Structure 1
Amino acid sequence: MIQLPPYARMLGLDYADGVLSMPFAVHLIGSPGRLHGGSVAGLMEIAANLAVRQALGEDPAQMKPVNVTVDYLREGQMVTTHAAAEIMRMGRRVANVRVEAWQDERSRLIATARTNILIVRE
Structure 2
Amino acid sequence: MTSDTLITRALEAVPYAQTLGAKPIFIGEELTLILPYSADNIGNPVLPALHGGAIGGFMELAAIAELIHSASEEDLSNLPKPIGINIDYLRRGRPVDTYARAAVFKRGSRVVNVRVRAWQEDYDNPIAALHGNFLIPSDG
Q: Sort the TM-score into its range (normalised by shorter chain).
A: over 0.9
State, as a whole percentage, how many aligned pairs show the same letter.
40
Residue in 1 aligned with 2:49? 34
Alignment deviations for residues 68-92 of structure 1 (CA, whole Å, 9 cap, x no partner) = 1100000000000000000001111
Map Cα deviations across residues 3-48 of structure 1 (whole Å, 9 max, x no partner): 2022111101110111100011111010120000000001100000
TM-score norm. by structure 2 comes to 0.83
Corresponding residue of 1:67: 84
Which aligned runs of 4 or more in structure 1 are off by greater than 6 angstroms?
none
The two structures, once aligned, show a CA RMSD in angstroms of 1.0
Q: Identify, as 1 or 2, the structure richer in helix.
A: 2
- Map of 1:56 onto structure 2: 71
In structure 2, what is the equivalent of residue 6 of structure 1? 15
Q: 1:103 corresponds to which residue?
A: 120
Q: Quick check: 1:60–1:121 contact (8 Å CA) kept in 2?
A: no
Using structure 1 for the length normalisation, give the TM-score.
0.95
Inter-partner Cα distance in structure 1 for 2:17 and 2:72: 20
Unaligned runs of 5+ in 1: none
When residues 56 and 36 of structure 1 are mapped into structure 2, their CA distance, relative to the original with a 3 A threshold, is same
Number of residue pairs the alignment of both structures matches: 122
